[in-house]
Amino acid sequence: MHLHFLAKNMNKLLIVGTVAFDEIETPFGKTDKVLGGAATYIGLSASHFNVKSAIVSVVGEDFPQEHLDLLKSKNIETSGIEVVKGGKTFFWSGRYHNDLNSRDTLDTQLNVLADFDPVVPNDYKDSDVVMLGNLHPNIQMKVLDQMTKKPKLVVLDTMNFWMNCALDELKEVLKRIDVITINDEEARQLSGEYSLVKAAEVIHEMGPKFVVIKKGEHGALLFANKDVFFAPALPLKEVFDPTGAGDTFAGGFTGYLTQSSNVSFRNMKNAIIYGSNLASFCVEKFGTQRMEDLNDKEVVERLQQFKMLTQFDIELTQ
């Protein structure tokens, strides 16, 4: 009864993005087809907060029920994940360079994503926060069109693939969002500016009030008008596979903001730290493995390390 009451009053996070099969190659090895996708990582990450969350996505008949069960076991609503009879699930494969900071996409097969028409579950049409994860901007737009109440915050993530094949559509969605999360190379591509400060200014003009630029192992920057905030990534002894780190970051960022219901710049700084903290776990094992068994105690302990990493005590004399 008590739990039911709590669940009813929890803020809602709507997640859209790919639920996928990935094949990943890093200097440490190669996987078979494993569970991946932007929405998968976002959902697993956001499950560490006190929020109600749902994923809107599409998979084929080849997608194992156990993967959907995993998401359900993390209290993620999966009724918005359409299963297409006879269809094949979105497939991505990538190979990382030795520095693990850059990668080449070897293959992207849209499969069922090519003609996906997203349907937002009724209970999530008034979500507090909408996380438009990486997929075709037209699908991101269709999700926004189904909202019956203006969300407190709309966050969008995208990548070079969509800039190359759907730039005009992407620019239309950018007019309707509050925050964009994007990596440094993609920020340069989207803006045509090398300096990330100038890139953030140009992207800001395209619509989003807040621009988050992810720099992999070099942390993340948050730009809002004249304000800038920077969070480092935690220096890790071992990094196995950076796949999904950006999405895990986005899941932590939006999970925290949904839970705290405060979308000020000041609170967004905390959200950046929560996102960076969760992303630091994601890279420790291949695919979703580390995020699948991560517990809240580990999350809190590492937050403490984050604090230690960045705290200093300089006295300013004027």
Chain positions contacting ligand AMP, by CB under 6 A? 18, 20, 22, 36-38, 92, 108, 134-135, 159, 161, 243-247
Query: Within a 10 A sphere around the Cβ of 99, how many other Cβ atoms?
Result: 10
Q: How far is the CB of 288 from ligand AMP (least distance, A)?
A: 8
Comparing CB distances to ligand AMP, the nearer of 31 and 108 is 108
How many Å apart are CA 74 and CA 44, to the nearest integer? 7
> At closest approach, how far in Å is the CB of 6 from ligand AMP?
31
- Specify the residue, 26 or 134, whose C-beta has the smaller distance to ligand AMP: 134
For the CB of residue 134, give the shortest distance to ligand AMP in the complex, in Å.
4
- Residue (49 or 90) nearer to ligand AMP, CB: 90
Min dist. Cβ of residue 278 to ligand AMP (A): 12
**DSSP one-letter code for 120:** -
CB-nearer residue toward ligand AMP: 11 or 243: 243
Q: Residue 8 in 3-state DSSP?
A: helix
Is 41 in contact with 48 (CB distance < 8 Å)? no
CB-nearer residue toward ligand AMP: 11 or 220: 220
Closest by CA to 224, choosing from 209, 243, 246, is: 209
CB of 166 to ligand AMP, least distance (A): 10
The Cα–Cα gap between 102 and 148 comes to 40
The token duo for 297 is 């105690």
Query: Of 128 and 247, which CB lies nearer to ligand AMP in the complex structure?
Result: 247
At its nearest, how many Å lie between ligand AMP and the CB of residue 112? 13
Least gap, CB of 316 to ligand AMP (angstroms): 38
How much is the CA Rg of the chain, to the nearest whole Å?
19
Q: Please choose, from the candidates 277, 182, 300, 185, the residue with its C-alpha nearest in 3D space to the C-alpha of residue 231.
A: 277
DSSP H or E stretch at residue 253: helix 245-260
Nearer CB in complex with ligand AMP: 108/270: 108
CA 49 to chain centre: 14
SS (H, E, C) 268-311: HHHHHHHHHHHHHHHCCCCCCHHHHCCCHHHHHHHHHHHHHHHC
Distance CA 80, CA 70 (A): 15
